[in-house]
A and B are shown apart, each in its own frame.
Chain A
């Protein structure tokens, strides 16, 4: 286990360097000159002069490695430059927007886990019953519904028509409900299926037979089955955490949630390169670390792999 941890941590270094490199090069891939973009965003007409001025201001004429290393060392200290749009430090904007996204993602995760486990176990225990078949039908529908459609339909039903919940923004504790539920829908469908199939597979294992032969209560046997299924399901659930965080973009847009997804989309419309760069870097690093934690967790849970 220790050997595995060390290996993974070492492997992180080139990956993180690769990520930072890529995030940095991103700007240079643009067909337009960043300096020109920076000027246009503020609705000023670019002229040869102010372009040259902007280039100097942004340090765009320095050699590549210098720019990369300066950018990297600044980034490590939290300085990602200033937004082209409003000239405020990008780092601050992101720091403000990250908590709401994490909050939304956490609430969604909670909903996903609770409902998927409950429904998955129920379906597996009552294999092929009416409950099971109905649930599988619902799951199928759930995987095909576009999240943004479900979002606006739910918004119309609960916020506009019934007026039970707020339509947008992060105003009251209740305002997280609609966005979180919408975000969870697609994942719930996937995980109910996963947990159900996992448990059913485990039900066919020999230890279930041996449990019956020993006269154990069905409940006790199911506890064993459940714990075994939990392992694989947990890994899959864990893998979806970074996906959840990255995938809030559409939901934040619909419900005007002040998170980084919305920040990024606005940045795209404004062609705000420093913002986009910082977004890519932070999200990628978050992603890599989350994956690492999940991987390590999944090895630890299984006593067979803990020793290998």
Chain B
């Protein structure tokens, strides 16, 4: 563990990105305190103003301050995504650990259920659930969790199984440690690194998903600010004011890129490459994810 933190701290780019994300999340949480304007207040006279001191990112088609909308939008997009990720990973970890640790019938049952869930394409599932329950941000979260939990159970189960094979867990069992103790002190501590990688990359994916659904109009409803929804509104004025597409799209892109980069960096810090000068740098992650995913979906 200590090794991981040392390597991570040395990676200046990763530290920079982490600070950026902390800043972003901080702004999202503190939006009501930090935003200069109320994001829903309209001022048609002032519409489509360019960036200025009064309006850092200008105003939109209804005269609302874009900067404030980005801040409040970030609140929705990021916090909702993080929440979804936490719930999915929690379910995934609990069931994955149970299945991977105890094996046997419990494992079989859980895996069969996952198999059936995974035979539905997740996009279809999400659309179906939103279709039945109705639109709105809560339903999107619910739909995403329902569509994704099975994948996480499988991923975490395979991580757990890989760890179970390691000697120190065997020793702990032989030494007579209780199940709960082994799970808490050894398994989770060892697996937490890989789960953290999953969590960061997952957050990025969920942000993309949720903003896409809002873009379609299935998520938040106007006048709430949300990055995907803002892009939808920008699309409608594309011919006259294409500049509106910049801020929300850029915001999504930067945050998603940051989370992806963070996930890769954590992966790097967990498994340092041997040939330093000729490293294949940060692009081994998807590779290993794919390798695992293949093993898991076979």
Q: A: which residues have CB within 8 A of B?
A: 15, 18-19, 22-23, 26-27, 29-32, 128, 136, 139-141, 143-149, 152-153, 155-156, 160-161, 190, 193-194, 196-198, 200-201, 232, 235-236, 239, 242-243, 246-247, 249-250, 253-254, 264-265, 267-269, 271, 273, 276, 279-280, 283-284, 287-288, 291, 295
Contact = CB atoms under 8 A, between A and B. Distances in A.
B238 A144 contact: no
**Which size class do B's interface residues fall under?**
35 or more
Interface string B119-141: 11101110110111111000000
B231 A152 contact: yes
Contacts, number: 154
Interface centre among B124, B245, B283 (most CB of A within 10 A): B124
Which 10 A-B pairs give the minimum distances between C-beta atoms?
Answer: A144-B257, A149-B249, A268-B131, A246-B121, A276-B131, A197-B287, A144-B256, A283-B124, A246-B123, A280-B128
B288 to A, nearest CB: 9
B20 interface: no
A128 B278 contact: yes
Given A146-B208, A254-B235, A197 B128 contact: no
Contacts of B235: 152, 254
Contacts of B116: 15, 18-19, 22
Contacts of B281: 136
Given A156-B242, A236-B294, A268 B124 contact: no
A139 B281 CA distance: 14
B260 interface: yes
B298 to A, nearest CB: 8
B280 A197 contact: yes
Nearest to A277: B128
Contact of A156 (B132, B215, B245): B245
Contacts of B286: 190, 193-194, 197
A149 B252 contact: yes
Contacts of B121: 242-243, 246, 283-284, 287
Nearest to A265: B216
A200 B281 CA distance: 13
Given A26-B128, A148-B228, A271-B131, A197 B119 contact: no
A242 B121 CA distance: 8
A29 to B, nearest CB: 6
A255 B280 CA distance: 38
Contacts of B278: 128
Nearest to A291: B119
Nearest to A198: B287
B253 A19 contact: no
Contact of A160 (B208, B238, B294): B238
Interface of B: 115-116, 119-121, 123-125, 127-128, 130-135, 204, 208, 211-212, 215-218, 228, 231, 234-235, 238-239, 242, 245, 249, 252-253, 256-257, 260-261, 278, 280-284, 286-287, 290, 294, 297-298
Contact of A268 (B130, B249, B261): B130
B216 A149 contact: no
Nearest to A233: B290
Contacts of A193: 283, 286-287
A88 B212 CA distance: 29
Contacts of B228: 146, 148
Contacts of A155: 238
A15 B231 CA distance: 39
Contact of B132 (A26, A139, A253): A26
B119 A19 contact: yes
A156 B218 contact: no
A214 B135 CA distance: 65
Given A149-B231, A200-B280, 6 more contacts: A194-B286, A246-B123, A250-B215, A265-B217, A276-B128, A284-B124
